[in-house]
Amino acid sequence: MRERTLGSLTTSALGLGCMSMSGMYGPADETEGIATIHAALDAGITLLDTGDFYGMGHNEMLIRDALRDRDRDQVTISVKFGALRGPGQIWAGYDGRPAAVRNFLAYSLRRLGTDHIDVYRMARVDPAVPIEDTIGAIAEMVQAGHVRHIGLSEAGPEAIRRAAAVHPIVDLQIEYSLLSRGIEQEILPVCRELGIGITAYGVLSRGLLSGHWTRDRQVGADDFRARGPRFQGENLDHNLALVEALRGVAESRGVSVAQAAIAWVLARGEDIVPLVGARTRERLNEALGALDVAFTEEDLAAVEQAVPAGAAAGDRYPTAQMAHLDSER
């Protein structure tokens, strides 16, 4: 497995995002989730991404179980915290106060069955708390040995600079794909200036850009995609037409749509690590194939002609969730 560098952290060139193994995209099979994590580790993936709110702790406990007979020190665990939940799948905002940071961290360490988290990051910038306070609290946990590195998630340029002034930041986790290129104008240059890497999520636009999504696919009410603006009505028709154009380019190069989409993100820079959100071994194997795709400049131009920048229809989150994205201000 090739490696990439995120700030002072070296990881595998692809990471595995474990979110969909804990219900965020409808029901998932636990046994298959663990088998997928094992297959990823066996293939050389060292970066596992989770959030304490994915399945309200379920995802962290799944990772703990998957790592039970593995060498913990070979794995980089990235954890997002800060989202407030409530009974009945309620989402209730974010909390970045220092006391909350320590509380979230203590529970995560317990659920993960580990004494340290490799990369710890607030899932969303909390506008009610100066980011210096949140990052300062994580920095204290670094000093105490409970956290190794600090990351950010969906932060905008100003927050990135303010955070980096408090403590070195290894990476910004943010949506980046052929359908979501918003970081290219301002955010990516700021990260590069400050030596901060990118862990790119949604590289398949949550499955929309995988080549496997169809107009008639049914999703349950508890699946994020049931509310995702890009998956609705005319937006979906428009976006699936882009996917078909990409399919033409991918097939002419002998790769799948998902592999083309992941390979495009991989080609955007050595400081970018795509997080693939596979929850089955079959999907993971397809994603791993992206590492063998050697696109020429001409191939990349053909991919971008099929899916031009800004071509996606619909926001990347429902309106209420867009409001939480510091990166979109």
Distance in angstroms (rounded) separating the CA atoms of residues 79 and 88: 23
Q: Which residue is nearest to ligand NAP (CB)?
A: 17
Q: Which is nearer to ligand NAP, 84 or 144 (CB)?
A: 84
Query: Least distance in Å: CB of 16 to ligand NAP?
Result: 8
Query: Least distance in Å: CB of 131 to ligand NAP?
Result: 16
Residues that bind ligand NAP (CB under 6 A): 17-20, 25, 49, 80, 123, 153-154, 173, 201-207, 210, 212, 258, 275-279, 283, 286-287
142 Cβ neighbours under 8 A, 6+ residues apart: 148, 149, 150, 167
176 is catalytic: no
Q: Which is nearer to ligand NAP, 164 or 275 (CB)?
A: 275
Does residue 157 contact residue 182 with C-beta atoms inside 8 Å?
no
Scored b (16 or more CB within 10 A) or e, 92-123 reads eebbbebebbeebbeebbebbebebbbbbbbb
Query: Least distance in Å: CB of 202 to ligand NAP?
Result: 4
Catalytically annotated residue among 54, 120, 176, 201: 54
Q: Which is nearer to ligand NAP, 160 or 204 (CB)?
A: 204
Query: Least distance in Å: CB of 5 to ligand NAP?
Result: 19
Query: Least distance in Å: CB of 276 to ligand NAP?
Result: 5
Query: Least distance in Å: CB of 80 to ligand NAP?
Result: 6
Q: Which is nearer to ligand NAP, 56 or 144 (CB)?
A: 56
67: left (phi over 0), alpha (psi -120 to 50) or beta: alpha
Q: Which is nearer to ligand NAP, 108 or 205 (CB)?
A: 205
Tokens of 129: 């708390």
Residue whose tokens read 């304490």:
52
Q: Which is nearer to ligand NAP, 91 or 144 (CB)?
A: 91
Q: Which residues are catalytic?
A: 54
